[in-house]
């Protein structure tokens, strides 16, 4: 066999292992009984150790070296470049550390679920401390010599992103958001949409919207979980989850639309490139851009609620669903405690808090026991609110319980990408809002399929983003969108 054929066969085998591990992760968060946590941790830790050993085997490195010295086409060069970057990182990490992290993540997740339910951070703290220690160890090994230890973890999710990049961007964004919040703060808030609607009806609504947006139910499914997520298990099998609240239908529906954006990205990846490694998303910031585009730019728009209102009336006959009222409720601007419930204007403040805390964690300035107080101090300073308990504060997110340090900035990166994509799409699809009002989402999905989904990871996210939007300023695009939509709702302008 040629070196290229050997490489693709090895990558297919690795992808199969990753898919099997993903099935276990999905099951863990949706179906598995709590007492299964111990055995599941053992299963995932061995699978991830096995994957790591196969990927970092000298034979894989030899194949890359052979291909790097061979004449390749553009696609092959992109694949070899991708695998070289990942191989050079992974080969530094002992298999025992990979196994330890996998086990700690499973234990951490189940400890978090129970501790959050009991509102008891102390019960979760030892598992979290274990994850902090292992993550610091991993960061020190995987990318020695980086400017900041947090850079090593950022690179896992958005290659090339650094603390030096994020700090000034977050500072600028915080300043711009502060100016906007000062303008809308004194204005009266739109009324909340808190009508009680049965959960079965909400499930039917989520299923209908998911299908209408373009999620292929023959290649995926929708379930419930404690914290909504999406995961691709392989070509033709994408799982998304959501949650429902009897008195907050907009929150549950927002989660569904958010995860639908992730799921449609997974379904639109170039699966014909299986075996090359290029049939993957171009970083988590790009992934979040897809979910945030659908959740916010489309899903909080007035045309969307004009589409939605008659569908809701069909599920709850006799109820009056006014699109204007729901639109205004969906675009309330309010300093709040919970990230996933936050409006577009304050959401990135929640990410700034997590970024600052994670940087301090990687610098060794914070331990698990310090986090509740540090969290409250940061929320008081940045967001302007303080959580009454850990359940609505430091334990609200699943990420730390699963060892996903470095992921949170991807949300803001995604918001920025989405803002610029939206402006470019409005230029290319000038009748976009007419399509949305009629429930015709295919033109928007087709634009994203061509520009983003079908590209896979042939290019790094930052390069892909620039190839699509040119020299646009994403911070200006995001802030401009807030002034245009939310400013109009509140009757303020720059």
Catalytic residue annotation: 259
- Residue 219 is encoded by which pair of tokens? 């290649």
Nearest to 375 by CA among 420, 410, 339, 409: 339
CB 231 within 8 A of CB 28: no
Residue 298, exposed/middle/buried by CB under 10 A (0-12, 13-18, 19+)?
Answer: buried
Nearest to 398 by CA among 118, 201, 125, 108: 108
- DSSP letter at 1 equals -
- Residue 333 is encoded by which pair of tokens? 């601007």
d(CA 254, CA 251): 5
For β-strands 237-242 and 220-224, DSSP reports them as: parallel
d(CA 384, CA 382): 6
CB 347 within 8 A of CB 333: no
* Residue for token pair 């997974």: 266
d(CA 362, CA 359): 5
d(CA 218, CA 267): 11
CB 126 within 8 A of CB 96: no
3-state SS, residue 433: helix
CA dihedral of 409, 400, 389, 340, whole degrees rounded to 10: 40
d(CA 297, CA 311): 20
d(CA 129, CA 373): 15
Nearest to 308 by CA among 318, 79, 298, 169: 298
């Amino acid at each position: 066999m040629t070196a290229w054929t050997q490489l693709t066969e090895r990558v297919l085998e690795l992808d199969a292992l990753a898919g099997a591990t993903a099935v276990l992760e999905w099951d863990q968060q949706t179906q598995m009984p709590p007492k299964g946590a111990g055995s599941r941790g053992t299963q995932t830790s061995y699978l991830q150790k096995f994957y790591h050993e196969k990927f970092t085997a000298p034979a894989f490195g030899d194949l890359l070296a052979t291909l790097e010295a061979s004449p390749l086409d553009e696609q092959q060069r992109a694949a070899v470049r991708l695998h070289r970057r990942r191989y050079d990182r992974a080969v530094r990490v002992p298999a025992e550390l990979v196994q330890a992290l996998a086990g700690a993540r499973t234990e951490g997740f189940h400890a978090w679920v129970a501790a959050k339910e009991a509102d008891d951070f102390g019960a979760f703290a030892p598992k979290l401390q274990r994850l902090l220690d292992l993550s610091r160890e991993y960061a020190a090994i995987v990318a020695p010599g980086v400017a900041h230890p947090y850079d090593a973890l950022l690179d896992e999710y958005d290659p090339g992103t650094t603390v030096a990049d994020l700090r000034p961007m977050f500072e600028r964004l915080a300043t711009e958001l502060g100016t906007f919040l000062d303008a809308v703060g004194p204005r009266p808030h739109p009324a909340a949409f808190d009508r009680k609607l049965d959960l079965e009806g909400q499930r039917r609504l989520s299923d209908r919207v998911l299908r209408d947006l373009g999620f292929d139910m023959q290649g995926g499914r929708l379930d419930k979980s404690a914290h909504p997520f999406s995961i691709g298990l392989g070509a033709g099998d994408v799982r998304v989850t959501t949650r429902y609240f009897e008195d907050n239908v907009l929150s549950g529906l927002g989660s569904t639309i958010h995860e639908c954006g992730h799921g449609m990205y997974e379904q639109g990846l170039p699966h014909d490139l299986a075996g090359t490694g290029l049939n993957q998303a171009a970083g988590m910031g790009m992934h979040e851009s897809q979910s945030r585009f659908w959740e916010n730019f489309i899903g909080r728009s007035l045309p969307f609620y004009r589409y939605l209102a008659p569908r809701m009336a069909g599920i709850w006959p006799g109820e009056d669903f006014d699109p204007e009222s729901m639109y205004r409720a969906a675009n309330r601007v309010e300093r709040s405690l919970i990230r996933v419930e936050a409006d577009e204007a304050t959401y990135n403040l929640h990410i700034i808090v997590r970024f600052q805390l994670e940087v301090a964690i990687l610098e060794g300035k914070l331990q698990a026991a310090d986090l509740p107080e540090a969290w409250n101090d940061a929320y008081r300073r940045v967001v302007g609110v303080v959580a009454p308990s850990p359940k609505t504060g430091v334990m609200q997110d699943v990420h730390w319980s699963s060892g996903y340090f470095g992921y949170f900035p991807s949300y803001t990166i995604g918001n920025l990408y989405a803002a610029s994509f939206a402006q470019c799409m409005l230029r290319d699809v000038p009748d976009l809002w007419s399509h949305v009002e009629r429930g015709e989402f295919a033109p928007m999905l087709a634009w994203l399929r061509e520009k983003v989904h079908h590209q896979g990871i042939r290019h790094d996210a930052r390069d892909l983003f620039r190839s699509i939007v040119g020299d646009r300023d994403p911070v200006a695009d995001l802030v401009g969108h807030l002034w245009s939509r939310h400013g109009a709702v509140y009757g303020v302008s720059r």
